[in-house]
Structure 1
C-alpha cells in the first residue's frame, strides 16, 4: 500500500510540474484547449484604438417596419422562439482575436525564470494572448458589429460564421465611448440581420441573446426586456442600455439581443456579476445607438460628437433653495474649461444649465447626450439660471476630443 501511495504521489508531482512549465512557457496552450478556454470578462473598461479608413462601396442594412410583420413559420411548427432564432442565428458570428503582448522592460532577474523562459523576459519576444467574443452581420457587404473591448488591441481577428466558414476581419473603426466597433469581412452570400425599431420595444417583451458563451459555440438563451434606458452604471461614457434577464456570459460580448421577430434589438455588452457568470442582469447597447455609431464610422472612420467643455453636477434638493431654482431639473456647472465653447459663451461656475438648443436638460447624462448629438460648429443657445434669473446665451458647439480611455462624463 505504501509503495502504491508513493507512486501516486510521484505521478501527481510530475504532472503538476509539467503543468507549471506549460503555464509558464506556453500559457496560450491552456487557453486554446477545451470548450471553456479563451474566456474574457464581459464587463471591462475598454481602451481606445486607432480607426482604420473605411473601405468598400455603399452599405445597405435591412430595417424592420414600424409594425412588426408575422414571422414565417416552418410547416408543422408553431410561432415561438425557434422561428426568431432561425432568422437571426445565421447573422451572429464568433470572433477570435490574437494579441502579441510585449515583454515588460523591468523583467525579473531570477535565474529560475530565465531558465524556464519567463514570458515577460526581456530577451524574449513576449507572449501571445487569445480571446473570444461574438459579432453580428448587419449588411450583405460584410459589415459586422461587435464590442470595442472584444477586438481592442488585437493583432489578428478571425470570424467564424454559423455555416462553418471562417475568415479574417479588418477593423473599419471603433468607438470606445459606446464600446462599439465595426469590422469588415470579404465573403459572398452573407445573411445580414434585420434591425428592429427600438421605439416599439416595451418592458416585458420577449428577447433572445445569441452568441458564443465560454467558447462552447453558438448558443441561444431567452428572457425578457427587464428595463429600458439604463444609465449611471459606469460601464461606458454614453449609456442607454437595454437590461435583460436572458443569460449573457463571457464570450457573448458583441452578440445579438433579438426580439420575437428575430430582429436585432441590441448588442450584448455587459453583465452584472460577482464571479463572471450570469446572474440574470445583462445589458445591451440599443440598436438605435449601434446604427448611429456604425453609420458615422463607415462614413468618417470615427464618431464625431458635440462638446462644450464643462464639468457638471446633478442638481439635488439642497440646491433648489440655494440657487433659487424652480425644481431639480438641470445641471450645476462645477467648472468651465478654459478656451472651450462654454467659456467663450460666458458660462460660469455656479450656473445651472436647463436647456441647450431647446433640448431640456434633466441631469448630467441628459446634458452629455444632448451636447453629443449636436454637430460641431452649430450655433445655438443655452438657457441657464444665474443668481435666480433665467437667461439665454449664444454658443457655438465644439468637437468632443477623442479619448484613449473610458472616463466619466465631462
Structure 2
C-alpha cells in the first residue's frame, strides 16, 4: 500500500567512490546533525503548493546506494502516476547488477576506474533495461544476518578479488574470476531467482518489469548544467561515479529549475543528484539553502542561527556553479527524490525532497531545499521526457 506524503512535512544515499568509505553514511549523517538548530522547525512555516504521491521513506543503512534508493523511489512514483498500484522495488537488486557490471568494467579498465558503492541515476534505468526488476519482498539483499544494509565487508572482498584479477597472475585471465566475483556478491546479497511468485502469478525479473512496473526506459532523460560543454547537446557526466561513462544533456542554469517546476506542475516527480556537504544543508532540520556569506565570514551568532527561519540567499550564476564544480566544492555526494513544491512564510519556494536516511529528522525523512541550492549544487537530475517544457525539449531534440 502506498501513501500520499503528509501535508505538513542525497546518482537515494551517499555517492562514494572508495571501498574504505562505503560505510561512511553514518559518519556523514552524524556530521550533518551538527549543522542544525533546536528552534528550526518552529521558525519555518511551510505550506504545500504541490504534493505528489510517493511511497514510504526508506533507510539505506551503511551503504553508498543512495542513487538506487532515489531512482527506485522515483520509479515507484512513476507507477502511481501511470495509475498502477506501486510496488516497493528491490533497491539492492539494482545495486547488485551495477556491482556485476562495474566489476567487469573495472577489470577491462585495468583498475583505472571508480569502484565502491557509488553510482548514478542512470544506473538504475540501465540495469532495469538489461536485468529487469524485482519486488523488495523477493530480494531484500539481506543475506548475511543483518536487518539493514551493511556493505563494508562485502566491499572489501569485492575489491580484493578484482585487484587480483587486474594483476593477472596467470598471464591470461580465465572466465572464473567473473564466477568468483559474482559468488562473493550473491553470498552477501542473495542469488537472483530465475522465477518467482508475486500475488499469485509467476514472473521472471524481465516479465515483472514489463508487466507490473511497466515503465519504458527510453522515456527518461538525465540532465545537468555546465559551462564547459555546448548547451542542448550531450556530454560526459564528469564525476567519478559515472563508471559507465554515460552522457547526459547539458542545459542552461535556469532551465534546470524550469524543467523541475514544469515536471511537478504536470504530476511528474524528479530524481535528483546533488552535493550535500555544504554547512547550509541540514539533514536534522530538513532545510538546505545558499547563504549570502561564506562560513568563515559569518559571526558566531550568524552560524548559530543559520536554520532559525528563512534567510536571504546568494545569487547563483553559471560561472559560480561551474567554479564550485571544478574546485571540488560541488561533488557527487548524494541522490534524493523531489516530490513536491512548498512555500515558506515569506513566499519563497522550496522543493520537497524525499531522502533515504530514515525518518529521524524534523520532517520525518523529507527536506525543504531552495531553488538556489538546486541551481548551485545539482550534479544531475532525471525526468520523464514528457515532463520537459516543449521549447527546451525541441532544443534537446527529444
Structure number with higher strand proportion:
1
Structure number with higher helix proportion:
2
Q: Under a length normalisation based on structure 2, what TM-score does the superposition of the two structures give?
A: 0.21
Higher RCO structure, 1 or 2 (CA under 8 Å, sep 6+): 2
Q: Under a length normalisation based on structure 1, what TM-score does the superposition of the two structures give?
A: 0.21
